[in-house]
């Protein structure tokens, strides 16, 4: 009987101790699917391994099929962190109060989009968008929720020509990601399109772009874009100071292999305020709460 009482007391003490500590489960994160799946697995598989080693908790990368799905996973607490674009990050933080942008690539403070054209159009590189560009029959964005593949290109089309894209081109499409935008314009399925400059430069370097068939004809002014965002309840789930540890671990990345997977030279601090211009632009053209 004495042993049974001691065992019961010990179990109670252990249960009490456990209830006072946060439950250190698996730390999950996702990313907007801006490239083909193999590139995403390469980028975020190595990130998951790095984070797990540095944070001392299990870490899992959760792939999603769309930008909207990344925002939904974040809202529903299916992931605690995400690599968002400017627009998707703003949308996610509006849905999950207290969430914070914590880090961005050094290049993400001055991101840009390329407007590209099939060479059969005869378009040449220019410093400004011209009537020749909108005389083409078709144009494709990337994902509907993309900053570099939709929001900013649409903003500059509207600003330059005072009309919505659907009024400027006979056919406006959404490819789904930047790699596919390049492929569609290169094949001639669309005459023109808008693409993330980083994806263009990567695929050009990898020999995936035939410059005899597709070329850059204009580039946008710069704007803030990609960044890491964490939920506001991260410390509650994983312990006091965990969000700060995640931030420090991301900022400390120096491995060239890890950085080249993005590709970024390094990560630097970010804040929600950095993306106020994106929020204002999305509000102006009616995309702030779009799926």
CATH number at residue 188: 3.40.190.10
Which of residues 200, 219, 238 is at a domain's end? 219
Answer yes or no: is 135 within a domain: yes
Which stretches of the chain are assigned E, i.e. beta strand? Answer: 27-31, 59-61, 81-84, 100-105, 113-118, 138-141, 171-174, 192-196, 214-219, 227-230, 267-269
Answer yes or no: is 90 within a domain: yes
What pLDDT score was predicted for residue 56? 94
Residues 101 and 157 in one domain: no
Which of residues 219, 243, 270 is at a domain's end? 219
Find the domain containing 260 and state its range.
23-109+224-284
3-state DSSP call for residue 276? helix
Number of domains making up the chain: 2
Answer yes or no: is 191 within a domain: yes
What pLDDT score was predicted for residue 246? 97
Answer yes or no: is 173 within a domain: yes
Answer yes or no: is 159 within a domain: yes
Residues 130 and 263 in one domain: no
At 113-153, the pLDDT tens digits run: 999 999 999 999 999 999 999 999 999 999 998 999 999 99
At 232-268, the pLDDT tens digits run: 999 999 999 999 999 999 999 999 988 887 889 999 9
3-state DSSP call for residue 193? strand
CB 111 within 8 A of CB 278: no
Number of neighbouring beta carbons within 10 Å of residue 109? 15
Closest by CA to 270, choosing from 41, 134, 70, 107, is 107
Residues 50 and 147 in one domain: no
Number of neighbouring beta carbons within 10 Å of residue 241? 11
Residues 255 and 127 in one domain: no
HSE-CB at 8 with a 13 A cutoff on CA atoms is 5
Residues 147 and 276 in one domain: no
Mean per-residue pLDDT over the chain, rounded: 90
Answer yes or no: is 5 within a domain: no
């Amino acid at each position: 009987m004495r042993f049974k009482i001691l065992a019961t007391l010990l179990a109670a003490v252990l249960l009490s101790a456990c209830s006072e500590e946060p439950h250190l489960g698996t730390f999950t994160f996702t990313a907007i699917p801006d490239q083909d799946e193999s590139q995403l697995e390469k980028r975020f598989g190595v990130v998951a391994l790095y984070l797990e080693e540095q944070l001392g908790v299990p870490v899992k990368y959760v792939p999603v099929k769309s930008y909207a799905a990344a925002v939904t996973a974040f809202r529903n607490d299916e992931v605690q962190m995400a690599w968002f674009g400017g627009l998707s990050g703003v949308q996610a933080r509006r849905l999950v109060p207290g969430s914070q942008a914590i880090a961005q690539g050094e290049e993400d403070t001055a991101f840009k989009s390329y407007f590209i054209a099939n060479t059969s159009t005869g378009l040449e590189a220019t410093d400004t968008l011209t009537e020749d560009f909108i005389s083409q029959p078709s144009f494709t964005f990337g994902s509907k929720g993309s900053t570099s593949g939709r929001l900013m290109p649409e903003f500059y089309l509207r600003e330059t020509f005072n009309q919505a894209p659907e009024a400027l081109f006979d056919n406006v499409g959404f490819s789904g990601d930047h790699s596919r935008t390049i492929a569609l314009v290169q094949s001639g399925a669309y005459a023109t399109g808008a693409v993330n400059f980083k994806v263009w430069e990567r695929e050009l370097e990898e020999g995936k772009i035939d410059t005899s068939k597709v070329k850059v004809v204009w580039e946008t002014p710069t704007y803030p874009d990609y960044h890491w965002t964490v939920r506001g309840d991260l410390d509650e789930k994983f312990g006091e100071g965990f969000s700060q540890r995640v931030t420090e671990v991301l900022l400390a990345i120096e491995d060239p292999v890890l950085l080249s997977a993005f590709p970024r030279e390094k990560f630097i601090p970010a804040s929600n305020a950095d993306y106020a211009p994106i929020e204002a632009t999305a509000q102006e053209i009616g995309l702030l709460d779009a799926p």
